[in-house]
Amino acid sequence: MTQRIALITLLAFGLSVSISAQEHHQSETAPPHRIPHAQADIEVDGILDEESWDTAWSYELGYEVDPGENIPAVVRTEVLMINTNTHLYVAFRAYDPDPAAIRAHLSDRDQAWNDDWVGVVLDTFNDERRNYLLLVNPLGVQMDVIEAWPNGGGVWDGIWDSAAQISEWGWSAELKIPFSTLRFQRSNGPQIWGFDAIRGYPRNINRQFGAFERDRDNNCYLCQAVKIEGFEGVSPGKNLEIVPTLTGSRTQHRDDMPDGPLENGSPDFEAGITGRWGFTPNLTLSATINPDFSQVEADARQLDVNRPFAIYYPETRPFFMEGADFFSTTLRAVHTRTLREPAWGVKVTGKEGSHTIGAYVVDDDLTNLIFPGSQGSDSTSLEQSSTASVLRYKYDVANNYTIGALYAGREGKDYSNKVAGFDADLRLSDKDRIVLQFLSSRTQYPDGVVSDFDQPEGQFEDWAGTLRYFHETRTWGIWGVYSDVGKDFRADLGFMPRVDHRGGEVGHSYVWTGNDNTWYSKLVLLSAIYYRKDHDGNLLENEYAMRFNYEGPLQTHAFIRPSHAREGYNGEEFELDELSIHICMTPTAKSHYSLNLITGDAIDYDNTRPAKRLYLNPGFWYRFGRHLRIEASYTHEELEVAEGQLYRAAIGQLNASWQFNSRAFVRAIVQYVDNEFNVALYDDDDMDPIEQHLFTQLLFSYKVNPQTVFFLGYSDNSAANQHYSLTQENRTIFAKIGYAFVL
Contact indicator for 341, 641 with CB cutoff of 8 Å: no
The per-residue pLDDT for 11 is 40
- Cis peptide leading into 67, omega within 30 of 0? yes
| CA neighbours closer than 13 Å in the CB half-sphere of residue 465 | 17
Contact indicator for 386, 415 with CB cutoff of 8 Å: yes
Average pLDDT over residues 441-448: 96
The per-residue pLDDT for 110 is 92
DSSP lists the bridge partners of residue 252 as 264, 731
The per-residue pLDDT for 24 is 38
Residue 613 to residue 602: CA distance in whole angstroms: 6
| Core vs surface per residue 679-703: b (16+ CB within 10 A) or e | bebbeeeeeeeebbbbbbbebebbb
pLDDT, one tens digit per residue, over 263-312 is 998 999 999 999 999 988 999 999 999 876 555 666 778 888 999 999 99
Average pLDDT over residues 340-350: 92
Amino acid at 257: M
| CA neighbours closer than 13 Å in the CB half-sphere of residue 503 | 20
Model confidence at 682: pLDDT above 80: yes
List of residues 6+ apart from 51 with CB closer than 8 A: none
Question: What 3-state class would DSSP assign to 474?
Answer: coil
pLDDT, one tens digit per residue, over 587-624 is 999 999 999 999 999 999 999 999 999 999 999 999 99
Among 229-233, 276-280, 500-504, name the most confident range: 500-504
Residue 124's alpha-carbon distances to 184, 195, 221, 235, in angstroms, are 5, 8, 15, 14
Model confidence at 171: pLDDT above 80: yes
Lowest mean pLDDT among 169-183, 189-203, 287-301, 549-563: 287-301
% of the chain exceeding 70 in pLDDT? 95
Contact indicator for 600, 612 with CB cutoff of 8 Å: yes
Model confidence at 653: pLDDT above 50: yes
CA 549 to chain CA mean position, Å: 22
Model confidence at 153: pLDDT above 80: no
Q: What is the mean pLDDT of the chain?
A: 92
Domain-wise residue ranges, the chain: 31-230, 249-274+606-743, 307-490, 503-586
Q: Closest Cα to residue 82, out of 177, 162, 168, 189? A: 177
Contact indicator for 117, 137 with CB cutoff of 8 Å: yes
Residue 544's alpha-carbon distances to 547, 561, 565, in angstroms, are 11, 10, 6
Residue 589 to residue 623: CA distance in whole angstroms: 8
Model confidence at 18: pLDDT above 60: no
Q: Binning pLDDT at 50, 70 and 90, where does residue 30 land?
A: confident
Class at the top of the CATH hierarchy for domain 31-230: mainly beta
The per-residue pLDDT for 157 is 87
pLDDT, one tens digit per residue, over 460-476 is 999 999 999 999 999 99
The per-residue pLDDT for 295 is 53
Question: What 3-state class would DSSP assign to 51?
Answer: helix
Q: Binning pLDDT at 50, 70 and 90, where does residue 149 land?
A: confident
The per-residue pLDDT for 3 is 42
Question: Is the pTM value of this prediction over 0.75?
Answer: yes
The per-residue pLDDT for 685 is 74
CA angle 534, 536, 538 (to 5 degrees): 60
The per-residue pLDDT for 320 is 84
pLDDT, one tens digit per residue, over 541-560 is 999 999 999 999 999 999 99
% of the chain exceeding 90 in pLDDT? 83
The per-residue pLDDT for 743 is 83
Contact indicator for 631, 654 with CB cutoff of 8 Å: yes
What region, left, alpha or beta, does residue 53 occupy, with left being phi > 0 and alpha being psi -120 to 50 degrees? Answer: alpha
Q: Which phi and psi angles does 481 have, rounded to 5°?
A: -135, 135
The per-residue pLDDT for 6 is 40
Model confidence at 254: pLDDT above 60: yes
Contact indicator for 682, 607 with CB cutoff of 8 Å: yes
The per-residue pLDDT for 98 is 96
The per-residue pLDDT for 10 is 39
Q: Closest Cα to residue 121, out of 182, 43, 49, 203? A: 182
The per-residue pLDDT for 330 is 93
Count, residues in the chain: 743
Contact indicator for 615, 639 with CB cutoff of 8 Å: no
